[in-house]
Structure 1
């Protein structure tokens, strides 16, 4: 009789699927449609697009692949320097290009005066982007559309705070066990949601820009990195998860605003909602047609650039007077995707090619640090 070897705290069971990259595209498109339909006053799918929760899909994918990438990178190099470099290459160059190009684009189309290029506020704008907190709103652009060229980019510092936490989570999993680490993150998720909703405006603003407000989605992603390949993927479970998601979202919109039920809803909603969304992300990433993965592999990952630029495109559409037009919404989507394509082709893929260690194509178990292997595929997974 042979005894079964115990599972390491850092073992990965990533699910194999060709559509995970496509989910980033779908999430980015859903963000554009959601924001554009609201700003332009155009109803899409009878308001059903609001149920897509694309930001939570992004956070779940980040939890899954960034945690797995950190485990894999540390196990292969024994150092966190490569992990930090990979994370920087993934986000910083695209944000820098966005921060430099946005003022030039606004001046070029006549939406902003050339004098704004010499404004002290622009120095703060560029400095915030360099610090990877690219959601400072200069007043010099307040007359263009909603006045915010980067409103949705609060998610960038939220993700960056998770990036900074991940090495400690990996080490905690190795020292205390993966599930104890996850248990601690569940507590953080509940406390983070509670403080965000019960604290004052300053506390809310700080937590809104950190992973704490939506820690449940990152945590769910880490669980999927650990056990994803062992989760049964059935269409009827996916339907149950979808129904649970719709029910929870409907209760959020129409439930009580005060009292114990409202308190419970605000405190536990992220944790409850993260579970069905996590299952749907896993199911879709594995079960969606393989050709979707081939399409995104051929074209590249336009999702981050699309997300960065869509507010600029949308605000220019508003500045030009495009309201109440479905055609304007389509135009905003197409131009945003084009900006994403340019960002990918000219900036992102060039820097991502410099990654020395990548998770791409690696789904084996990881349980201890060791020397780095030879050159690996440098395409990004997160």
Structure 2
């Protein structure tokens, strides 16, 4: 998605068109996910119609349809793993990047975009290192707000941006090389005893994150990429925003502890993502040049 966004902004002439494109991509399916979450909460009697008198629930409504998806009131903690659609906490992070990206392009024009990306990459990585070392419990309000902000993760977005800006020079050792990168990534994680993570405990975690990013991009540009199999039908966003709803239903019904449940959850998630793409996302994207 990052490369698509950069192409949109890099090749576009109008910032309003960029904003409209991002809103059409993010919000229609996000609002449908909210409707599904509401239906499930009512179906499993986590809330009732009298719950609508609770201001905390209305605060959650507002957060789900705007940019505060990380907020979950206590009255919803009894559903699934404790939050109706927990994966949406990354939506504010993504939206913050979409807001910051045009700032990089429009301001400080006298500085090369690559220099800006590298400087901000180093700043974000260092910020994450310092935040991780200083954050002991992670329970303070400040720690929680930092965790759902763009700053600890900006380096990952900018790493993808640097790859986009230098794609003509580096694509020869990434395109169609997924097997090599999978091997490199696996060997590195094994011998460095490192795994990717949100918190950068040391440089090995940072490198694991970057290698995972290269592996993902290599997979996207492989000869058997999912995009080619799906013939341009993009269900990645749908899988991202619907999978926790499905998992929470399985947890609520105590369908856990068996690999067959995992496969069932995956199949159901993909089916919902396909429906969302065909009837919501694709139609919303068709409005890009009509509105």
Indicate if the aligned counterparts of 1:216 and 1:271 stay in contact, CA closer than 8 A: no
298, 315, 336: which one pairs with 2:269? 336
**Once superposed, what is the RMSD of the aligned Cα atoms?**
2.9
Count matched residues.
282
CA–CA distance in structure 2, aligned partners of residues 196 and 240 of structure 1: 33
Shift of 1:222: 0.6
- In structure 2, relative to structure 1, the CA distance for the partners of 1:269 and 1:169 (3 Å cut) is farther
Q: Residue 233 in 1 paired to residue 173 in 2?
A: yes
Shift of 1:189: 2.4
CA–CA distance in structure 2, aligned partners of residues 106 and 122 of structure 1: 11
Indicate if the aligned counterparts of 1:144 and 1:319 stay in contact, CA closer than 8 A: yes
CA–CA distance in structure 2, aligned partners of residues 170 and 297 of structure 1: 32
- In structure 2, relative to structure 1, the CA distance for the partners of 1:192 and 1:267 (3 Å cut) is farther
Structure 2 equivalent of residue 345 of structure 1 = 278
Shift of 1:248: 5.0
Once the two structures are superposed, the pairs formed by residues 103-142 of structure 1 within 5 Å of their partners are: 103-110=38-45, 112-142=47-77
Indicate if the aligned counterparts of 2:28 and 2:281 stay in contact, CA closer than 8 A: yes
- The gaps in structure 2 that reach 5 residues or longer are none
Shift of 1:115: 3.3
Q: Residue 206 in 1 paired to residue 139 in 2?
A: no
Larger RCO: 1 or 2 (CA < 8 Å, sep 6+)? 1
CA–CA distance in structure 2, aligned partners of residues 95 and 214 of structure 1: 22
- In structure 2, relative to structure 1, the CA distance for the partners of 1:93 and 1:307 (3 Å cut) is same
Q: Residue 159 in 1 paired to residue 159 in 2?
A: no
Q: Deviations over 1:81-104 (max 9, x none)?
A: 111111111111211222233112
Q: Please give the TM-score of this superposition, normalised by the length of structure 1.
A: 0.65
Indicate if the aligned counterparts of 2:114 and 2:165 stay in contact, CA closer than 8 A: no
Indicate if the aligned counterparts of 1:228 and 1:282 stay in contact, CA closer than 8 A: no
Structure 2 equivalent of residue 188 of structure 1 = 123
- In structure 2, relative to structure 1, the CA distance for the partners of 1:214 and 1:247 (3 Å cut) is farther
Indicate if the aligned counterparts of 1:314 and 1:332 stay in contact, CA closer than 8 A: yes
176, 180, 186: which one pairs with 1:246? 186
Q: Residue 296 in 1 paired to residue 230 in 2?
A: yes
- In structure 2, relative to structure 1, the CA distance for the partners of 1:316 and 1:71 (3 Å cut) is same
Q: Please give the TM-score of this superposition, normalised by the length of structure 2.
A: 0.84
Indicate if the aligned counterparts of 1:193 and 1:270 stay in contact, CA closer than 8 A: no
Indicate if the aligned counterparts of 1:68 and 1:222 stay in contact, CA closer than 8 A: no
CA–CA distance in structure 2, aligned partners of residues 160 and 137 of structure 1: 19
2:201 match: secondary structure: helix
- In structure 2, relative to structure 1, the CA distance for the partners of 1:288 and 1:207 (3 Å cut) is farther
Shift of 1:154: 1.6
Structure 2 equivalent of residue 5 of structure 1 = none
Q: Residue 88 in 1 paired to residue 32 in 2?
A: no
Structure 2 equivalent of residue 325 of structure 1 = 258
246, 250, 265: which one pairs with 1:313? 246
